[in-house]
Amino acid sequence: MPGSRPPFDPEVAIALASREDIVTMLAPEQIQSLRARSEQPDVLALTRDGEATHTVHRIPRRDGGRIDLALIRPAASTRPVPLLFHVHGGGLVTGTAYDALAPVARIAATAGMAVSSVEYRLAPENPYPAAIDDVHDALVWIAAEAPDLGIDANRIVVEGVSAGGGLAAAAVLRSRDEGPDLYGQMLICPMLDHRNASGSAHQMAGHGAWDRSANETAWTAYLGGAPEHVPPTASPSRADDLSGVPRTFIDVGSAETFRDECVEYAARIWADGGDAELHVWPGGAHGFDVLVPDAALSRDAVAARVDWLRRVLTQSEAAS
Protein backbone atom coordinates (compact mmCIF):
# COMPACT_ATOMS: atom_id res chain seq x y z
CA MET A 1 0.00 0.00 0.00
CA PRO A 2 1.22 3.59 -0.61
CA GLY A 3 3.52 4.87 2.10
CA SER A 4 4.35 1.44 3.49
CA ARG A 5 7.94 0.49 4.31
CA PRO A 6 9.77 -2.36 6.04
CA PRO A 7 9.78 -2.12 9.84
CA PHE A 8 12.98 -1.38 11.69
CA ASP A 9 14.49 -4.03 13.90
CA PRO A 10 13.29 -3.20 17.47
CA GLU A 11 16.78 -2.43 18.80
CA VAL A 12 17.56 -0.33 15.75
CA ALA A 13 14.24 1.52 16.12
CA ILE A 14 15.08 2.49 19.70
CA ALA A 15 18.42 3.92 18.61
CA LEU A 16 16.83 5.85 15.73
CA ALA A 17 14.27 7.35 18.09
CA SER A 18 16.65 8.23 20.91
CA ARG A 19 19.88 9.41 19.33
CA GLU A 20 20.32 13.00 18.18
CA ASP A 21 23.28 12.37 15.88
CA ILE A 22 21.37 10.41 13.23
CA VAL A 23 21.67 11.95 9.76
CA THR A 24 18.41 11.37 7.91
CA MET A 25 18.30 14.37 5.56
CA LEU A 26 21.28 16.54 4.64
CA ALA A 27 21.36 19.93 2.92
CA PRO A 28 24.56 21.31 1.35
CA GLU A 29 24.90 23.97 4.05
CA GLN A 30 25.05 21.24 6.71
CA ILE A 31 28.18 19.55 5.35
CA GLN A 32 30.61 21.61 7.43
CA SER A 33 28.82 20.89 10.70
CA LEU A 34 28.74 17.20 9.84
CA ARG A 35 32.50 17.25 9.32
CA ALA A 36 32.98 18.50 12.87
CA ARG A 37 31.87 15.06 14.11
CA SER A 38 34.79 13.22 12.54
CA GLU A 39 36.68 10.97 14.93
CA GLN A 40 40.24 11.40 16.12
CA PRO A 41 42.41 8.29 16.10
CA ASP A 42 42.32 6.15 19.24
CA VAL A 43 45.64 4.37 18.84
CA LEU A 44 45.13 2.11 21.87
CA ALA A 45 41.82 0.87 20.46
CA LEU A 46 43.34 0.35 17.02
CA THR A 47 46.39 -1.52 18.29
CA ARG A 48 44.50 -3.37 21.03
CA ASP A 49 47.09 -2.34 23.63
CA GLY A 50 50.07 -3.49 21.57
CA GLU A 51 48.69 -6.54 19.81
CA ALA A 52 49.04 -4.64 16.53
CA THR A 53 51.28 -1.91 15.17
CA HIS A 54 49.97 1.38 13.76
CA THR A 55 51.90 3.28 11.11
CA VAL A 56 50.98 6.15 8.78
CA HIS A 57 52.43 6.31 5.29
CA ARG A 58 52.47 9.44 3.10
CA ILE A 59 52.27 8.08 -0.40
CA PRO A 60 52.45 9.75 -3.83
CA ARG A 61 49.31 10.89 -5.59
CA ARG A 62 49.03 10.93 -9.38
CA ASP A 63 48.80 14.75 -9.44
CA GLY A 64 51.97 15.16 -7.39
CA GLY A 65 50.28 15.51 -4.02
CA ARG A 66 50.36 13.09 -1.10
CA ILE A 67 47.83 10.70 0.46
CA ASP A 68 47.91 9.50 4.07
CA LEU A 69 47.40 5.77 4.52
CA ALA A 70 47.04 4.25 7.99
CA LEU A 71 48.16 0.65 8.40
CA ILE A 72 47.39 -1.61 11.38
CA ARG A 73 49.23 -4.93 11.29
CA PRO A 74 49.42 -7.86 13.76
CA ALA A 75 52.55 -7.23 15.85
CA ALA A 76 53.42 -10.89 16.41
CA SER A 77 53.13 -12.04 12.81
CA THR A 78 56.42 -13.04 11.20
CA ARG A 79 54.98 -13.84 7.78
CA PRO A 80 53.04 -11.78 5.22
CA VAL A 81 49.39 -11.39 6.21
CA PRO A 82 46.29 -10.71 4.11
CA LEU A 83 45.08 -7.11 3.97
CA LEU A 84 41.64 -5.57 4.42
CA PHE A 85 41.94 -2.31 2.47
CA HIS A 86 39.32 -0.10 4.13
CA VAL A 87 37.61 2.94 2.55
CA HIS A 88 35.68 5.09 5.04
CA GLY A 89 32.14 6.35 4.65
CA GLY A 90 30.73 9.85 4.96
CA GLY A 91 28.71 10.47 1.81
CA LEU A 92 31.81 11.55 -0.15
CA VAL A 93 31.67 14.88 1.70
CA THR A 94 32.87 14.08 5.22
CA GLY A 95 34.80 11.54 7.27
CA THR A 96 38.43 10.63 7.86
CA ALA A 97 40.54 7.51 7.61
CA TYR A 98 39.89 6.89 11.32
CA ASP A 99 36.08 7.14 11.33
CA ALA A 100 34.70 3.81 12.62
CA LEU A 101 38.08 2.21 11.92
CA ALA A 102 38.33 0.43 15.28
CA PRO A 103 35.46 -2.03 14.57
CA VAL A 104 36.86 -2.69 11.09
CA ALA A 105 40.27 -3.36 12.64
CA ARG A 106 38.66 -5.87 15.03
CA ILE A 107 37.05 -7.70 12.11
CA ALA A 108 40.39 -7.80 10.31
CA ALA A 109 42.22 -9.06 13.40
CA THR A 110 39.64 -11.79 13.99
CA ALA A 111 40.10 -12.94 10.40
CA GLY A 112 43.90 -12.85 10.74
CA MET A 113 44.38 -9.79 8.54
CA ALA A 114 46.05 -6.40 8.60
CA VAL A 115 43.89 -3.38 7.81
CA SER A 116 44.68 -0.11 6.05
CA SER A 117 42.59 3.04 5.69
CA VAL A 118 43.06 5.80 3.13
CA GLU A 119 42.54 9.55 3.70
CA TYR A 120 40.94 10.41 0.35
CA ARG A 121 39.96 13.94 -0.69
CA LEU A 122 36.39 15.08 -0.06
CA ALA A 123 33.76 16.83 -2.18
CA PRO A 124 32.60 19.46 -2.96
CA GLU A 125 36.07 21.02 -2.71
CA ASN A 126 37.49 18.01 -4.56
CA PRO A 127 34.87 16.56 -6.92
CA TYR A 128 35.16 13.41 -9.03
CA PRO A 129 37.63 11.91 -9.80
CA ALA A 130 39.66 13.07 -6.78
CA ALA A 131 38.38 10.48 -4.28
CA ILE A 132 38.56 7.47 -6.58
CA ASP A 133 42.00 8.56 -7.83
CA ASP A 134 43.22 8.69 -4.23
CA VAL A 135 41.75 5.31 -3.36
CA HIS A 136 43.16 3.61 -6.44
CA ASP A 137 46.58 5.29 -6.10
CA ALA A 138 46.78 4.07 -2.49
CA LEU A 139 45.74 0.58 -3.57
CA VAL A 140 48.40 0.48 -6.29
CA TRP A 141 51.04 1.68 -3.82
CA ILE A 142 50.26 -0.80 -1.06
CA ALA A 143 50.13 -3.69 -3.52
CA ALA A 144 53.57 -2.71 -4.85
CA GLU A 145 55.05 -2.17 -1.39
CA ALA A 146 53.40 -5.22 0.18
CA PRO A 147 56.59 -7.29 0.64
CA ASP A 148 58.27 -4.53 2.64
CA LEU A 149 55.13 -3.96 4.73
CA GLY A 150 54.59 -7.61 5.66
CA ILE A 151 51.46 -7.81 3.50
CA ASP A 152 50.44 -10.69 1.23
CA ALA A 153 49.89 -8.90 -2.10
CA ASN A 154 47.97 -11.91 -3.42
CA ARG A 155 45.28 -11.60 -0.74
CA ILE A 156 44.10 -7.99 -0.70
CA VAL A 157 40.38 -7.53 -0.04
CA VAL A 158 39.02 -4.04 -0.72
CA GLU A 159 36.36 -3.11 1.85
CA GLY A 160 34.25 0.01 2.13
CA VAL A 161 31.27 1.34 4.05
CA SER A 162 28.50 3.48 2.52
CA ALA A 163 30.22 6.05 0.26
CA GLY A 164 33.42 4.10 0.92
CA GLY A 165 31.64 1.01 -0.36
CA GLY A 166 30.88 2.80 -3.60
CA LEU A 167 34.48 3.95 -3.87
CA ALA A 168 35.65 0.41 -3.11
CA ALA A 169 33.46 -0.97 -5.91
CA ALA A 170 34.74 1.73 -8.28
CA ALA A 171 38.35 0.96 -7.33
CA VAL A 172 37.73 -2.72 -8.04
CA LEU A 173 36.38 -1.86 -11.50
CA ARG A 174 39.42 0.31 -12.21
CA SER A 175 41.76 -2.38 -10.86
CA ARG A 176 40.12 -4.99 -13.05
CA ASP A 177 41.17 -2.94 -16.07
CA GLU A 178 44.43 -1.33 -14.83
CA GLY A 179 45.64 -3.49 -11.90
CA PRO A 180 46.51 -4.43 -9.29
CA ASP A 181 44.97 -7.90 -9.08
CA LEU A 182 42.65 -8.11 -6.08
CA TYR A 183 41.47 -11.06 -4.05
CA GLY A 184 38.02 -9.82 -3.08
CA GLN A 185 35.70 -6.94 -2.31
CA MET A 186 33.53 -6.43 0.77
CA LEU A 187 30.85 -3.77 0.25
CA ILE A 188 28.98 -2.70 3.39
CA CYS A 189 25.73 -0.81 2.62
CA PRO A 190 27.52 0.64 -0.43
CA MET A 191 26.50 3.86 -2.21
CA LEU A 192 26.52 2.59 -5.79
CA ASP A 193 24.09 4.59 -7.94
CA HIS A 194 24.04 8.36 -8.46
CA ARG A 195 20.57 8.18 -10.04
CA ASN A 196 19.05 7.94 -6.54
CA ALA A 197 15.79 6.67 -8.01
CA SER A 198 15.37 3.10 -6.74
CA GLY A 199 12.24 1.83 -5.08
CA SER A 200 13.93 1.70 -1.69
CA ALA A 201 15.24 5.27 -2.09
CA HIS A 202 11.69 6.52 -2.53
CA GLN A 203 10.26 4.14 0.06
CA MET A 204 12.63 5.28 2.83
CA ALA A 205 12.57 9.03 2.07
CA GLY A 206 12.48 10.95 5.34
CA HIS A 207 13.00 7.83 7.46
CA GLY A 208 15.91 6.06 9.13
CA ALA A 209 19.46 7.11 8.37
CA TRP A 210 20.69 8.77 5.15
CA ASP A 211 17.63 9.21 2.99
CA ARG A 212 17.51 10.20 -0.68
CA SER A 213 17.76 13.94 0.10
CA ALA A 214 21.10 13.36 1.84
CA ASN A 215 22.09 11.11 -1.03
CA GLU A 216 21.23 13.83 -3.55
CA THR A 217 23.36 16.36 -1.65
CA ALA A 218 26.30 13.96 -1.62
CA TRP A 219 26.14 12.96 -5.28
CA THR A 220 25.67 16.57 -6.42
CA ALA A 221 28.74 17.62 -4.43
CA TYR A 222 30.82 14.76 -5.84
CA LEU A 223 29.73 15.03 -9.47
CA GLY A 224 29.62 18.82 -9.57
CA GLY A 225 25.95 18.98 -10.48
CA ALA A 226 24.21 16.71 -12.99
CA PRO A 227 26.70 15.76 -15.73
CA GLU A 228 25.36 14.11 -18.86
CA HIS A 229 27.79 11.21 -18.69
CA VAL A 230 28.64 9.53 -15.39
CA PRO A 231 31.24 6.75 -15.70
CA PRO A 232 31.30 3.56 -13.62
CA THR A 233 34.33 4.80 -11.70
CA ALA A 234 32.02 7.49 -10.32
CA SER A 235 28.82 5.48 -10.03
CA PRO A 236 29.56 1.71 -10.16
CA SER A 237 25.97 0.77 -11.00
CA ARG A 238 26.61 2.39 -14.39
CA ALA A 239 29.02 -0.40 -15.37
CA ASP A 240 27.82 -2.32 -18.42
CA ASP A 241 29.82 -5.41 -17.50
CA LEU A 242 30.62 -6.74 -14.01
CA SER A 243 32.43 -9.84 -15.20
CA GLY A 244 35.94 -10.29 -13.93
CA VAL A 245 35.41 -8.65 -10.54
CA PRO A 246 36.85 -10.65 -7.65
CA ARG A 247 34.79 -12.63 -5.14
CA THR A 248 32.31 -10.26 -3.54
CA PHE A 249 30.47 -9.81 -0.25
CA ILE A 250 27.61 -7.28 -0.05
CA ASP A 251 25.42 -6.50 2.92
CA VAL A 252 22.68 -3.95 3.40
CA GLY A 253 19.62 -3.36 5.58
CA SER A 254 16.08 -4.04 4.41
CA ALA A 255 14.95 -0.63 5.70
CA GLU A 256 17.42 1.69 4.01
CA THR A 257 17.91 3.82 0.92
CA PHE A 258 20.57 1.62 -0.72
CA ARG A 259 18.76 -1.73 -0.42
CA ASP A 260 17.59 -2.09 -4.00
CA GLU A 261 20.78 -0.89 -5.71
CA CYS A 262 22.81 -3.35 -3.60
CA VAL A 263 20.51 -6.27 -4.42
CA GLU A 264 20.68 -5.36 -8.11
CA TYR A 265 24.47 -5.12 -8.03
CA ALA A 266 24.79 -8.61 -6.56
CA ALA A 267 22.33 -9.98 -9.11
CA ARG A 268 24.31 -8.42 -11.96
CA ILE A 269 27.55 -9.98 -10.69
CA TRP A 270 25.82 -13.37 -10.74
CA ALA A 271 24.39 -12.70 -14.21
CA ASP A 272 27.88 -11.90 -15.48
CA GLY A 273 29.28 -15.14 -14.08
CA GLY A 274 30.75 -13.83 -10.85
CA ASP A 275 30.83 -14.95 -7.22
CA ALA A 276 28.82 -12.81 -4.79
CA GLU A 277 27.40 -13.34 -1.31
CA LEU A 278 24.51 -11.03 -0.47
CA HIS A 279 22.96 -10.33 2.95
CA VAL A 280 19.86 -8.17 3.40
CA TRP A 281 19.47 -7.74 7.14
CA PRO A 282 15.81 -7.54 8.18
CA GLY A 283 14.99 -4.26 9.87
CA GLY A 284 18.46 -2.83 9.34
CA ALA A 285 18.73 0.92 8.81
CA HIS A 286 21.72 2.39 7.01
CA GLY A 287 24.85 1.74 9.07
CA PHE A 288 22.88 -0.09 11.75
CA ASP A 289 25.89 -2.05 13.00
CA VAL A 290 27.74 1.19 13.86
CA LEU A 291 24.58 2.87 15.13
CA VAL A 292 23.81 0.10 17.62
CA PRO A 293 26.77 -2.32 17.70
CA ASP A 294 25.45 -4.43 20.59
CA ALA A 295 22.16 -5.28 18.87
CA ALA A 296 21.66 -8.93 17.97
CA LEU A 297 21.24 -7.94 14.32
CA SER A 298 24.56 -6.08 14.37
CA ARG A 299 26.39 -8.97 15.99
CA ASP A 300 25.02 -11.33 13.35
CA ALA A 301 26.07 -8.98 10.54
CA VAL A 302 29.62 -8.64 11.87
CA ALA A 303 29.88 -12.40 12.37
CA ALA A 304 28.83 -12.98 8.75
CA ARG A 305 31.60 -10.65 7.53
CA VAL A 306 34.21 -12.45 9.59
CA ASP A 307 32.94 -15.84 8.45
CA TRP A 308 33.13 -14.80 4.79
CA LEU A 309 36.67 -13.46 5.16
CA ARG A 310 37.84 -16.57 6.95
CA ARG A 311 36.21 -18.84 4.38
CA VAL A 312 37.61 -17.13 1.29
CA LEU A 313 41.08 -16.79 2.82
CA THR A 314 41.05 -20.48 3.70
CA GLN A 315 40.13 -21.24 0.09
CA SER A 316 43.25 -19.39 -1.06
CA GLU A 317 45.43 -21.42 1.30
CA ALA A 318 43.89 -24.67 0.11
CA ALA A 319 44.54 -23.73 -3.51
CA SER A 320 48.19 -22.86 -2.91
Residue 300 is part of a domain; what is its CATH number? Answer: 3.40.50.1820
User: Does the residue 2 lie in any domain?
Assistant: no
In a domain, 142, yes or no: yes
| Structural domains in the chain (count) | 1
Asked whether residue 35 is domain-assigned, the answer is: yes
- Identify the burial level of 3 via C-beta atoms within 10 angstroms of its C-beta, where 0-12 means exposed, 13-18 middle and 19 or more buried: exposed
The answer to whether residue 98 is domain-embedded is: yes
Q: Which residues contact 284 (CB under 8 A, 6 or more apart)?
A: 9, 12, 252, 253, 254, 255, 256, 297, 301
The whole-model pTM stands at 0.96
For residue 190, whether the previous peptide bond is cis, meaning omega lies within 30 degrees of 0, is: no
Domain holding 285, by residue range, is 10-319
pLDDT for 319: 60
Report yes or no on 139 lying in a domain.
Answer: yes
Per the domain annotation, does 5 fall within a domain? Answer: no
pLDDT band at 1 (very low <50, low <70, confident <90, very high): very low
Mean per-residue pLDDT, 49-72 = 94
Whether 166 is covered by a domain: the verdict is: yes
Lowest mean pLDDT among 84-98, 226-240, 278-292: 226-240
Query: Does 55 fall in a domain?
Result: yes
